[in-house]
Amino acid sequence: MLANKIALVTGSSKGIGAGIALELAKSGADVCVNYCDSPTSALEVVNQIHSVGRRAIAIQADVSQRDQVERMVDTCEQELGHIDILVTNAIASVRNTLLETKFEDLQRTLEIGVYGVFHICQIVARRMVERKALGSIIHISSPHAHFPYKGAIDYNTTKAACHHLVLSMANELMWHKIRVNILEPGWD
């Protein structure tokens, strides 16, 4: 189904991102596994992808840092090929109430969960448009984008802001034949 497609999944060394990376591989894609600070976990995901017969590499990059995102995209394309599928999954959060949240924690969550999504989507979308390629961007969101749960000021704010960022991208990129979707996993 996804044979000869190249996917990049941010925040894919563990959790939902790791699961998405492995499922993309099982569907035939080769995968760039992004991590920020979990190289051992990222290599485990790469090995799992190899075990299903697909190519994979692990690339360290903090998505909040544009230069690191550019390097990651360059490395992915040099090693595996042009990116057809982008999944934005990376997030950080220190969940707290308004009265207890430190500004630095809110700022870091926004840097990864909004600015990081902007960086990776803009860089990859520009390359897709230049190639006149059909592409797919999938953003992993959360019910927190719509429901401001208590004790999650940084996460609620970030998911809500990013929801509109991604919807705005969808309105613009559809004219370039780049599909943009939001996936909101819930709780079991």
Q: What share of the chain is helix, strand, coil (3-state, %, to 5)?
A: 50, 15, 35
Q: What is the pLDDT at residue 188?
A: 55
Residue 29: which residues within 8 A CB-CB, separation 6 or more?
2, 3, 5, 6, 7, 54, 84, 85
CA distance 75 to 170: 26
Instruction: Quote the pTM value.
Output: 0.95
Using one digit for the tens of pLDDT, what is the confidence trace for 116-159? 999 999 999 999 999 998 999 999 999 888 888 899 999 999 99
Count of Cβ atoms closer than 10 Å to residue 10 Cβ: 29
Per the structure block, which two tokens stand in for 145? 């984008």
Q: What is the pLDDT at residue 133?
A: 87
CATH number of the 6-183 domain: 3.40.50.720
For the chain, domain boundaries: 6-183
- Mark whether 155 is an active-site residue: yes
Average pLDDT, integer, range 32-56: 97
Alpha helices of the chain — where are they, by DSSP H? Answer: 15-26, 39-51, 66-79, 103-110, 116-131, 153-173
Mean pLDDT of the residues in the chain: 95
Average pLDDT, integer, range 105-110: 96
Catalytic site residue from 35, 115, 149, 155? 155
The answer, yes or no, to whether residue 187 has pLDDT greater than 90, is no
